A = this chain, B = another copy of it.
Amino acid sequence: MRIPILKLHNYLLISIQTELDDQTAINFQEDLLREIHTTEATGVVIDLTSVEVIDSFIAKVLGDVVSMSDLMGAKVVLTGIQPAVAMTLIELGIHLQNVPTALDLEQGLLKLHQEMGE
C-alpha cells in the first residue's frame, strides 16, 4: 500500500496512520522524494502520531528519508513521535540530530515556518 502525500502550498504533509512494513516504508521513501522533485516542495511534515512501534529497519528508512529530503532542498519536521518510538530511536542510536520535531501537525507547520524564517 501507499502512504498518501498531501500537497499544501509549498509543503508536503504526510500522516502515517498504518503500521509500516518494510515495503511500505521503501515505497514511501521513493514516493516522497519523487513528490518533492515534482512539486518543488520546500518543507515536509511527517506526522507519526499513529505509529506505536518501529523497528530498526523502519527507523533507518525514516532517518534516511530526512537526510535525502534535506539534500534535495526540502526541510523535514517530524511530529507526534510516541514515547515508545522515541525510546526505540535512541536505543538504536538514531538521534535524528538537526531534525526539528513538534507535537502535532499544526505545531510542525509552525516550526517549518520558523525554520524557513517566514
Contacts and interface: CB of A to CB of B under 8 A. Distances in A.
Interface of A: 1-9, 13, 15-18, 47, 50, 104-106, 109
Contacts of A4: 3-4, 15-18, 50
Contacts of A5: 15, 17
A47 B6 CA distance: 9
A6 B1 contact: no
Secondary structure at the A interface, as helix, strand, loop or mixed, is loop
Contact of A6 (B7, B9, B13, B18): B13
Given A105-B8, A106-B9, A2 B18 contact: yes
8 contacts: A1-B1, A3-B4, A4-B15, A4-B17, A4-B50, A6-B105, A8-B13, A8-B105
Contacts of A104: 7
Given A3-B4, A6-B13, A9-B106, 8 more contacts: A2-B17, A4-B50, A5-B17, A6-B6, A6-B47, A7-B104, A8-B8, A8-B13
